[in-house]
Structures are given as structure tokens and as C-alpha cells.
Structure 1
Amino acid sequence: MDFDSEDNSVKLLRAQTQIMNQTLSFIKSMSLKCAIDLCIPDVIHKYGQPMPLSQLIASLPIHPSKTDSLRRLMRMLIHSGFFSQHNITENELEVSYVLTDTSMLLLKDHPLSMKSMVQLAYDPFLMNPFHQFSTWLTNEDPTPFHTQNGMAFWDILEREPKFNNFFNDGMASDTRLVASVMIERCKGVFKGLNSLVDVGGGTGTMAKAITKSFPQLKCIVFDLPHVVDGLHGTENIKYVGGDMFEAIPPAESIMLKWILHNWNDEEC
């Protein structure tokens, strides 16, 4: 037996496997997008008990020729941890599905739903720039997004109201979850504070959560003018439009959530 040849074959197969895993990893993301587009988590949740595949097929607008593809889709999502499988009988059509902790966060009506955030991530405005990565590395554009669209991300938000609303909904869904954990686990951070400015605070989701738990705090929600335009404050919340690179409203504390990653180290 040629051990050197065998060792080389193992290396080649391992290298090929790594390449194929990386190349096809997008299928996991697209499978999740498909499940959200079809509202599969909501359908299973509404059923109220482990849902047989046959019943899931009947409850979705699936073409009769695609039922086997739905079964494969569910296998992929089970492998990724979004659903759990229950085998009631040996009949594969009677395999049943239940939600996991992860897919619970994809329900439309869950108070901490991440559905909007996931949908935002798959929007063409955010996906297409990744096809420009190699082109961007060869030019002077500040970001791949600029290479794809000819303008900065924030300029697109100002010019595309529909996408701007989509973006704000996605960020708000992320903030609701983060705020819930932060207020529960990091209460000490806010003790003794009287004022806070949330830089890039969007429509005020974080500020509303903070002032509800710490009513002594006065919060300033600071974001670009088109983001806060038309938003009305409260006794504890004030909306201010501006550019953080020019000036930030004064306060005892500054919050930066999902902000610094948008610029390079020198600008930050």
C-alpha cells in the first residue's frame, strides 16, 4: 500500500470538503430566509402541538410538486437548530415539528422577535454589496456598499423611505432583545445617572426601555435628521437630529450601540 499516496488523498479530500462547505454555506442562510418568507415558525406555533409534515404541507402555499423539497428544507432547519423533530410513526410524512428557543424569536408576535432584523439582513440593499468585495478592494470607495450603489449607506436610507422604515424596524427588533437583557443584567450601570444620550438611537426603542426601568433618567435620542424627523418625545425622552462627527448633545453618559463598526478606526 502506498501510504504517501493515501495521505495525499486524505489531504485533497479534506481540502475539497472545506472549500465546498464554505462555498455552499449560504444555503443555510437562504433556508432560514425561505422559512421566514413562508411564515413556517408562525404556522407551527399556531398549530399548538407537534405539527406533522403532512399538516404543514397542507397549511402552506406549497405546489404539489414541491412537497419533497419542503421536507428537505425542514431537515436543513432542524440540523441548524431552528426546529426539533418528533417521529410519531415510521411514516416519514408523519414526522412532526416543534419550535426551539431560537425559532421562538422568529415569531411575528413575540415581544422580542428578531424576524425584522433577519429580514433586513437579507434585503438586496445589504446583500448585493458583498458581490462587490473584490472590486472594492481595487478602488478608493469607502465601502462595498458605495461601490454597489454609488453612495453611502446613510444616503440610501434618506432617499429610500421604504428601506429606511425597514432598517428602523430591524434595528428596533434587535434593540428590544438587547435592552431586555441589558436592563436585567446591568442595572448598576444606570444607578446614579441623571442623563444619557443614545448616539444613533434610531426611533428611540432603547431610550423607551431605559426610561421605563429608570424613570429618573433623561434620555436624548440622537440620530440623523431624517431618522428623528417627526418623532415626538416625552417628559423623559428628547429627539435630536445631527451628525455625531460634528457634535454630540451633552449628557452624563453616552451610549454607543451598533455604531463604531460603521467606520474605520481612524474616523472612530
Structure 2
Amino acid sequence: MELPNQENEMSKMLNGQVHILNQSLKFINSMSLKCALHLNIPEIIKNHCAPMTLTELITALGINKSKANCLFRLMRILINSGYFISQKISENEQGYVVAPSASFHSTKDASLIRIDVSLVAPVLQPAFVKPWDYLTKWFLNEEFCDMTPFEMAFQMSYWEYLRKEENAGRHFNESVAIDARLIGGVMIKECREIFEEIESVVDVGGGTGTASMIIANAFPNLRCINFDLEHVVDGLTSSENLVHVAGDMFQAVPPANVALLKWILHDWNDEECVKILKRCKEAVESSKEKGGRVMIIETVVNPDEKQKQVDEETRETQLLLDMLMMVLVGGKERDEKEWGQLFADAGFTRYKITPIFGFRSLIQLYP
């Protein structure tokens, strides 16, 4: 018979084994979701307009019936991850529906978006996974202090890789556009008063102009400038109140009442962020009396002692993104203290944080 303390130690060891295995195998959730999206399972089930049986799903997918049990197991892990729900149809039959928590898969609001392959694919590419094999070597070797694990793996920066690898660049641009549609939709609702009071806004690092177009369409009297590198904006079509301008945000930013930075600063180290913020400050400085400000949409990570202020999934998402930025580009997700130091170093006098973008917040900076 085991003594009580021995039983307790054994229980701890077994629980520890479960925890380590669970964490080690979590990539399977991501890869299973990727498979479901490639198979178009969410749309197939939604369009069925009723709980869909496994047999009906197999028929709709055109999958060999010998793989029925495998599809059942795929759906089981996706149900466990919260993407689908199994509903009882009859005494011996269950049907699948898309879970309310995964309702992003379809929406009638055109300013919002679906979570689809374009959003998931970039973070599941080999280019995102390979650098993690270099993380240990990166930590232990001083010669790699000026490189990221990504640069160690591919001998080029992440940005150079996106320009060189057409498919990766396309996935990246699609995912940025998807996020911009979501953020743009929230902004025109939550920031309406700001946009109605100003005359111009410049979207710094605005990519192909998705968010700028949403803002321009919602506020026809607002002059919108989509500002990014030449190869990004080249060939984009302007409209009556939207222009695309090429340039380098480290050198100068077009003047406007508001400079908008959507998920840009987490890509850069502190010194680079201060440079960008100074250029944005110069762009809005002359508009102090007209509501001039810099609007930043970024993660604000809660310190450990305040982590209970956000739900567990939100905080974990913030911390996972922080590690991703470290490995890919040498950037980071910041807490309020770190943000405050950057703002002070860039010469701003005050700021306001409003958590209205899920795991991200709106930060308003005043020159």
C-alpha cells in the first residue's frame, strides 16, 4: 500500500505529464482548424441550415466513406476546441453546427470578416514554424545578438522573405486586409465622434488601404491618406477623398489631423518605435487645435499582478503574439509602463488607453 505522501507525489507526476503533453500537442488544434478551413467545413455546415450529420458532411465533402471515422475524430477535436457544437437529432444521431463563439465564420456585416484560410494560413506556414528550431541556439550564442531566429533560419529578414516569396507575401497581405476590415468596422462605430470632428487622417503603414477605404467611405468629408512603401501602394486606385502616398515612416509622415498606426509598432524595437512616433508627432503637431493626435491600435499587456483583469484566452493570445514578434521580427507586445516610456521618449505629453478591439486597445497620443 502506498503512503499518502507517495500517492500525492505520484498524482503530481501524472498531472505534470498531462500538462506537458497538452501544451506540446496544442499545435494539433491549429492544424486541425487549418484542415477544416481548407475543406470549407464551416461554410458547408452553415449553408446546410440545420444540424448536419456526419454522413451528410461526408457526402458534401466528397470524402471516401472509409475515412468516416477519421472525419468524426477531426470534428471531435474541433468541437473540443470550441469551433463546432454537436447537437442531438435523434436517439442515435448527432448533427454539427458552427459554435456561436466561432460565428466570425459568417457575418452579414460587410465591415466585419470571416475567419478563413487567409487569416489562419500565414501563421501556419513553414516559415513561421522553422525559426523556433533556432530559438535555443539564438539564446546561447552571442554572435546572433543582432539577428532574429527568423533571420538565422532564412538568412534574410521577415520583410525581405515576404517580398521574395510571392505566396507568403500574398498570404500576409490577405491576412492584413482581413484584420483591417475588422478594425475598420469597429473604428467607424467606436471612433465616429473623432472622425466627424477632424478634416484629415493618415494611415501610417496602411498596406493596400483596406482600412483607409472603409473610413473614407464612412466619412466622405474626411480626407484620407493611405501611407506605405512604394512597392505596397504602387498601382492602388485613389478615390475622391482617398489618396495612396508612398514613403518611409522612419523619414517623414504626410501631415494630417490624425496619424493612425494599426498594429505597426509591435513589429519594431523600442528605438525604432520612438523614431516612428516622432515622425507621427511631427505630422499632427500643427493640428493641436483641431483635435490633432496619434491613434494607435496595439496590444496592452497587463502586468502579472493585474492579469485577472482580462480573460485567460485574451492574455494567452497577447503573450503568444509577443513571442511571435520576438522570433520573427525582433518586436514585442508591451504593457502600459513600456508604452508610457516610449511615448515620453517621443515627446508626447499625455495618452489615453481604451480597450475596444478585443485583445488590442485604442491608444490616443496628444502632442
TM-score where L is the length of structure 2: 0.68
**Residue in 1 that maps onto 2:194:** 189
Deviation of the 1:110 alpha carbon: 7.8
**Residue in 2 that maps onto 1:100:** 99
Q: Please identify, of 56-65 and 235-244, the stretch whose mean Cα deviation from structure 2 is larger.
A: 56-65
Q: Which amino acid aligns with 2:19?
A: Q
Deviation of the 1:266 alpha carbon: 2.5
**Residue in 1 that maps onto 2:349:** none
SS at match of 1:238: strand
Return the alpha-carbon distance in structure 1 between the equivalents of residues 94 and 109 of structure 2.
Answer: 26
More strand by share: 2
Q: Which amino acid aligns with 1:237?
A: L
Q: Does 1:232 align with 2:241?
A: no
Instruction: Find 1:117's aligned residue among 103, 116, 119.
Output: 119
Aligned pairs, number: 266
Q: Which amino acid aligns with 1:120?
A: P
SS at match of 2:73: helix
Superposition pairs of residues 70-89 of structure 1, within 5 angstroms: 70-89=71-90
Contact 1:141–1:147 under 8 Å retained in 2: no
Deviation of the 1:109 alpha carbon: 9.3
Q: Please identify, of 125-134 and 73-82, the stretch whose mean Cα deviation from structure 2 is larger.
A: 125-134
Deviation of the 1:224 alpha carbon: 1.7
Once the two structures are superposed, what CA deviation does each residue of 1:134-153 show, in whole Å capped at 9, x if it has no partner? 23333235322222221112
Deviation of the 1:123 alpha carbon: 2.2
Deviation of the 1:14 alpha carbon: 2.1
Contact 1:114–1:170 under 8 Å retained in 2: no
Return the alpha-carbon distance in structure 2 between the equivalents of residues 197 and 127 of structure 1.
Answer: 34
Once the two structures are superposed, what CA deviation does each residue of 1:203-251 show, in whole Å capped at 9, x if it has no partner? 1110011111222211111112211111121121111222212222221
Contact 1:114–1:174 under 8 Å retained in 2: no
Contact 1:202–1:223 under 8 Å retained in 2: yes
Once the two structures are superposed, what CA deviation does each residue of 1:9-28 show, in whole Å capped at 9, x if it has no partner? 12212221221111111111
Q: Percent identity?
A: 44
Contact 2:89–2:95 under 8 Å retained in 1: yes
Return the alpha-carbon distance in structure 2 between the equivalents of residues 108 and 161 of structure 1.
Answer: 30
Cα distance change on mapping 1:152 and 1:207 into 2, 3 Å: same
Deviation of the 1:103 alpha carbon: 3.6
Return the alpha-carbon distance in structure 2 between the equivalents of residues 254 and 247 of structure 1.
Answer: 12
Return the alpha-carbon distance in structure 1 between the equivalents of residues 228 and 23 of structure 2.
Answer: 37
Deviation of the 1:107 alpha carbon: 4.8
Cα distance change on mapping 1:247 and 1:128 into 2, 3 Å: same
Cα distance change on mapping 1:81 and 1:48 into 2, 3 Å: same
**Residue in 2 that maps onto 1:249:** 254
SS at match of 1:256: strand
SS at match of 2:249: coil
Contact 1:41–1:104 under 8 Å retained in 2: no
SS at match of 2:85: strand
Cα distance change on mapping 1:109 and 1:140 into 2, 3 Å: farther
**Residue in 1 that maps onto 2:167:** 162
Q: Does 1:2 align with 2:3?
A: yes
In structure 1, the gaps of 5 or more residues are none
In structure 2, the gaps of 5 or more residues are 274-367
**Residue in 2 that maps onto 1:135:** 137
Q: Which amino acid aligns with 2:54?
A: L
**Residue in 2 that maps onto 1:64:** 65
Q: Please identify, of 257-266 and 101-110, the stretch whose mean Cα deviation from structure 2 is larger.
A: 101-110
Cα distance change on mapping 1:141 and 1:40 into 2, 3 Å: farther
Could you list the structure 1 runs, at least 4 aligned residues long, displaced by more than 6 angstroms after superposition. Answer: none
Return the alpha-carbon distance in structure 2 between the equivalents of residues 84 and 65 of structure 1.
Answer: 24
Deviation of the 1:74 alpha carbon: 0.7
**Residue in 1 that maps onto 2:56:** 55
Return the alpha-carbon distance in structure 2 between the equivalents of residues 61 and 119 of structure 1.
Answer: 23
Return the alpha-carbon distance in structure 2 between the equivalents of residues 109 and 76 of structure 1.
Answer: 28
Deviation of the 1:158 alpha carbon: 2.1
Return the alpha-carbon distance in structure 2 between the equivalents of residues 11 and 136 of structure 1.
Answer: 33
Taking only aligned residues, the RMSD between alpha carbons, in angstroms, comes to 2.0
Q: Please identify, of 152-161 and 133-142, the stretch whose mean Cα deviation from structure 2 is larger.
A: 133-142
TM-score where L is the length of structure 1: 0.91
Return the alpha-carbon distance in structure 2 between the equivalents of residues 254 and 186 of structure 1.
Answer: 14
Q: Which amino acid aligns with 2:96?
A: Y
Return the alpha-carbon distance in structure 2 between the equivalents of residues 66 and 170 of structure 1.
Answer: 32
Return the alpha-carbon distance in structure 1 between the equivalents of residues 107 and 163 of structure 2.
Answer: 27
